[in-house]
Structure 1
Amino acid sequence: MKFKALTKTSAFAVFVLIEVSTFGLKAQNPIIQTNYTADPAPMVHNGTVYLYTSHDEDNTVKNFFTMNDWRCYSSTDMVNWTDHGAILSYKDFSWSRGDAWAGQCIHRNGKFYYYLPVNQKNGGNAIGVAVSDSPTGPFKDAIGAPLLVGYGYIDPTVYIDDDGQAYLYWGNPNLWHVKLNADMVSYNKEYGIVKEDLKDKNFGFRAKKNDNRTAAYEEGPWLFKRNSLYYLLYPAGGVPEHLAYSTAPNITGPWTYGDTIMHVIKEGGAFTNHPGYIEFKGKSYLFYHSGALPGGGGFKRSVCIEPFKFNADGSIPLIAPTKEGVTESASNLNPYKRVEAETIGWEEGIETVKDENAGVYVTNISNGDYIKVRSVDFGKGAKTFLAGVASASTGGKIEIHVDRKGGSLLGVLDVKNTGGDKNWKMLSCKVNVVKGVHDLYFVFKGADGNLFNFDWWKFSNK
């Protein structure tokens, strides 16, 4: 994890350690701390939110966007996010040479279609489409070639209208759209590629006129419908970007400029932004990215969420970025079913990796690291804690606390050497009874170095 890389010895590192520890006390934003994530694309499917993100690498090449794959996270409560790891790489498109930028996934007819911008081996921007039978992959190139090719062909957003017709919008510095065919991997050539006329009344006044653009629209469109109105959210105004929106009575316009949704983020911001929107369990959520994680910035961004309410007339209010983010969970977590260790409300110190056999698990655990899991419903109380762990070292301990990192101690799981860091064992310990809903903290203790790997956990009332 990047926090750990920044928190070794030296006076500077001590300062960063203090800053990170303070940062995590009340924070929920950014929602992912194990990787730099950007360009959020949330999708609701069967009662679960799947969040698709691009991935800013820890090491930036030539001081520019260094992005090689796309990642997926899921949640049923909007406060705890399960890491599914990298689900697709630009290398999975044989015709691509790199730049895994902002995309969006959508479900149709039992399959999941993921529209993604990359650069071609022979140069130039292109949009590809990957397909999977599962929202968490594996995804594969659906057609073995680009779906669309052209300068500025980036940041696709996809929406299926009420009549079943699917539309794809995309673009920087222009905005285009096509009608997708029913197969979702080709488009209506007769309808063609439609280029929007970017005017102030449609997409806002652009204060900076020295870049040969007219309206405020910049890139990263996000299309959805609410009630009888179509919304297009987008980064706007030039660099640094703010978020704005336009509305239309039809999915193809005419668009009318609405207003600013989020100002340029000055504290912990990045020079880009990217909106995403869902309604989940009766509440509205705006997704965006910032540079707020320690070590973050314009090329190391992180996804955040803000709940909000539409105004009575359907307009979107000005939304302020916060550290608190989503303060109320959409549902409580059941600790009596197996929970993946990479299901995290907040963490400090750990990392996650993906293995063909074990899937995603928590690793690089050191003394003092912790994982917070929010809104855990213990009901009438548990008696036993069980976990899947593996260790090639002397191991360590998992202290189980509630409500805060140093809160009431439920129990301690002693993790010894299991014969290998992938030789998984199920271990258990007795716990003190706690009832009702609490935040849960796993605090890791032990000697220097990596203590053990952590795959899953659950409680039992036996």
Structure 2
Amino acid sequence: MNNKKILLAFLSIFLFLGIAKAQEPVPLGDPFILYFEGNYYAYGTHAKDGIAVFISDDLQSWKVPAETANGLALHKADVYADQRFWAPEVYFVNGRFYMYFSADEHICVATADSPLGPFKQEIKKPMIEDEKCIDNSLFIDDDGKAYLSFVRFTDGNAIWIAELEDDLITVKKETISPCLHVSQAWEEVWARVNEGSFIVKHKGKYHMSYSANHYMSPMYGVGFATADKVMGPWKKYERNPILQKPGNLVGVGHSSMFKDKNGKLRIVFHAHNSEIEIHPRTMHIGTVKFVKKNGEEIMKIGDKILTPELIN
């Protein structure tokens, strides 16, 4: 082989490695995306020592922000507990960033001056100290009142809701009310699980997306319920699930929603790493529309699914 052929062979190898590297999926379970000042920030279950964050300007290509310590927006040294950091959500309210997350099966909230963190708790304690709960999700209504939906282990994994004080940290325990528990046939494949709630308001009606079945099941999926009042009662869509095994993806769920830079409503969710491996779970993005059927607004997930890439 002459020198020219050797050089071409090496170039081909480097190009292949570069393409393979560019096509690495974003390794997040329970993902959440915040759009803020021209950039997207993705958070999720991934790191052992806290909450990881990735940044993008187009939703397709993501990177680890150089400004973070080891890619973490939150480190265990700054908050309650030191393990099981799950399902974060980040909101910008009144000039400050609030991260709602689970730590050692307790719901928590930490704050920061930047979407990259570092997120910290002034008082290192969970929002509900005397009970294990997970998957807390914030919803602020049009009148400014804040609510937190979350999972209690009351019937397997069941979804409950409560009002928050104006500090967005303190739960009004007397308002804690049930929302959803396992009640549809598609949810009974493996384990009693309703979890990963997220609330949006559309034309005056509240829509709560949620996930059902064990997250390790390929039949993990997403359904939704509606209510006239945010505290309920909630009624599940009779034709759930609206997202389950799309294309070649399995184990899809624990979704949340956000508006992209064009104002389009999107859904972000995780899937199993492959049809035979669960971890590391990977992040995927779809679109959300509301379609009118029989006088009712139905939440619908578009067929086109975006699989973001991690660029180092």
Matched, 1:261 2:242: yes
- Write out aligned runs for 1:414-429 (5 A): none
1:280-334 superposed Cα distances (whole Å, 9 cap, x missing partner): 21322111111347x9932311111123433245312254474xx17xxxxxxxx
Task: Report if the CA contact (8 A) 1:290-1:297 is conserved.
Answer: no
Note closer, same or farther for the CA distance 1:315–1:194 as it changes in structure 2 (3 Å cut): same
- Write out aligned runs for 1:209-358 (5 A): 211=191, 213=192, 218-238=194-214, 239=217, 240-258=219-237, 259-264=240-245, 267-270=248-251, 273-280=253-260, 281-292=262-273, 297-312=277-292, 314-320=297-303, 322=305, 325=306, 346=309
Task: Report if the CA contact (8 A) 2:45-2:52 is conserved.
Answer: yes
Report the equivalent of 2:172.
Answer: 188
Among 69, 74, 77, the alignment partner of 2:58 is: 77
1:434-455 superposed Cα distances (whole Å, 9 cap, x missing partner): xxxxxxxxxxxxxxxxxxxxxx
Task: Report if the CA contact (8 A) 2:179-2:233 is conserved.
Answer: no
SS where residue 55 of structure 2 aligns?
A: strand
How far apart in 2 are the matches of 1:311 and 1:51?
28
Q: Give 1:92 deviation, angstroms.
A: 2.5
Note closer, same or farther for the CA distance 1:289–1:150 as it changes in structure 2 (3 Å cut): farther
Q: Give 1:205 deviation, angstroms.
A: 3.8
More helix by share: 2
Bigger Rg, structure 1 or 2 = 1
Q: Give 1:219 deviation, angstroms.
A: 1.2
- For 1:92, the aligned partner's letter is D
Report the equivalent of 2:83.
Answer: 98
Task: Report if the CA contact (8 A) 1:167-1:180 is conserved.
Answer: yes
Which one scores higher on RCO, CA 8 angstroms, separation ≥ 6? Answer: 2
Report the equivalent of 1:88.
Answer: 74
Matched, 1:198 2:181: yes
Task: Report if the CA contact (8 A) 1:262-1:321 is conserved.
Answer: no
Task: Report if the CA contact (8 A) 1:52-1:71 is conserved.
Answer: yes
Q: Give 1:218 deviation, angstroms.
A: 1.9
Matched, 1:39 2:30: yes
Q: Give 1:18 deviation, angstroms.
A: 8.3
- The sequence identity of aligned pairs, in percent, is 25
Note closer, same or farther for the CA distance 1:197–1:283 as it changes in structure 2 (3 Å cut): closer
SS where residue 87 of structure 2 aligns?
A: coil
How far apart in 2 are the matches of 1:109 and 1:245?
30
Task: Report if the CA contact (8 A) 2:73-2:118 is conserved.
Answer: yes
1:159-179 superposed Cα distances (whole Å, 9 cap, x missing partner): 111111111111151212221
Task: Report if the CA contact (8 A) 2:186-2:241 is conserved.
Answer: no
How far apart in 2 are the matches of 1:346 and 1:207?
31
1:183-242 superposed Cα distances (whole Å, 9 cap, x missing partner): 1121224x3422336374xxx44553885x4xxx52111122223121111111443311
5+ long unaligned stretches in structure 1:
1-13, 28-32, 57-66, 120-124, 327-344, 351-361, 363-462
- Write out aligned runs for 1:15-54 (5 A): 33=24, 36-54=27-45
1:70-120 superposed Cα distances (whole Å, 9 cap, x missing partner): 122333433333432211123422x4130111121112111111111111x
Note closer, same or farther for the CA distance 1:283–1:163 as it changes in structure 2 (3 Å cut): same
How far apart in 1 are the matches of 2:208 and 2:139?
11
SS where residue 260 of structure 1 aligns?
A: coil
How far apart in 1 are the matches of 2:60 and 2:180?
40
Tell me the matched-pair count: 281
Task: Report if the CA contact (8 A) 1:285-1:307 is conserved.
Answer: yes
Task: Report if the CA contact (8 A) 1:260-1:318 is conserved.
Answer: no
- For 1:183, the aligned partner's letter is D
How far apart in 1 are the matches of 2:116 and 2:195?
26
Note closer, same or farther for the CA distance 1:150–1:41 as it changes in structure 2 (3 Å cut): farther
Report the equivalent of 2:68.
Answer: none
Report the equivalent of 1:112.
Answer: 97
Q: Give 1:156 deviation, angstroms.
A: 0.8
Matched, 1:68 2:49: yes
Q: Give 1:273 deviation, angstroms.
A: 2.4
Task: Report if the CA contact (8 A) 1:269-1:291 is conserved.
Answer: yes
Matched, 1:177 2:161: yes
